Structure 1
Amino acid sequence: MADMPISSILTVTVPVADQERALDFYTRVLGFEVRTDNPFPMGRWLTVAPDGATTTLLLASWFPDMAPIGGLVLGAPDLDALAAGLKEGGAAFQGPSQEAWGRQLLFHDPFGNGFVVSQT
């Protein structure tokens, strides 16, 4: 293909039932920072991301029929510290575990969205 008109992934929509509860989980438990928090006709345009990340997560409450996402892969240097934070925050998780491809941890946010975290 000659020219690739798409050069990046900017935002991944994560369906949530309650934006305030989601904001608390993603900032307090996961340590993400708020990138945007603006009024939007259907709620708030609320995005979060790890410090330094270029792709953001849009915490969207206006898709009541959208199924939870699954399989989004994140990276973290210390899965044991992440597991401790998830436990303290009351999040459901599995691991860390050693797999053939590396060390990983699985968790769900309060809305059933599933994530894989690979050790970086």
Structure 2
Amino acid sequence: MLVSSLLTVTVPVADQARALDFYTGVLGFEVRSDNPFPMGRWLTVAPKGAETTLLLASWFPDMAPIGGLVVGSPDLDALAVRLREHEVGCTGPTEEAWGRQLLFRDPFGNGFVVSSV
């Protein structure tokens, strides 16, 4: 096997401090690294226990938001309530042929699909 894992996904953000507040405060992710970096901070977050991290990168001002990031949640209804309490627009949860899902965008336009796990 030439590639054995997906380590980090770079998520473009305009403001790392604001992104950190969103990902840890609203979504409940944990900080995996927060180190000085020549262009800002090397700031990674992830859900507790997850192997793959998100790199919250502010040094790509021309990078368009990404979509289709798929994460899992055991309680889509509670997540929808929490997102709405923090004025994050979301769609769902909805029942689909493949299961329940919830859609939302982070404050920087990056799109997420949350599947029921």
TM-score by length of 2: 0.98
Q: Structure 1 runs of 4+ off > 3 angstroms?
A: none
1:28 aligns with 2:25: yes
- State the shift of 1:89 in Å: 1.4
**In terms of Rg, which structure is larger?**
1
Please report how far the alpha carbon of residue 5 of structure 1 lies from its aligned counterpart in structure 2 after TM superposition. 1.7
Please report the RMSD computed on the Cα atoms of aligned residues, expressed in angstroms.
0.5
Mapped to 1, the partners of 2:95 and 2:27 lie a distance apart of: 21
Query: 1:61-76 maps to which residues of 2 (within 5 A)?
Result: 61-76=58-73
- What are the ranges of 5 or more consecutive residues in structure 1 without an aligned counterpart? none
d(CA) in 2 for partners of 1:91 and 1:67?
19
Deviations 1:57-90 (A, max 9, x none): 0000000010100001100010001001101111
Structure 2: 5+ residue runs without aligned partners? none
Aligned residue pairs total 117
1:15 is aligned, of 7, 12, 24, to 12
SS at match of 1:80: helix
2:59 is paired with a residue whose SS is coil
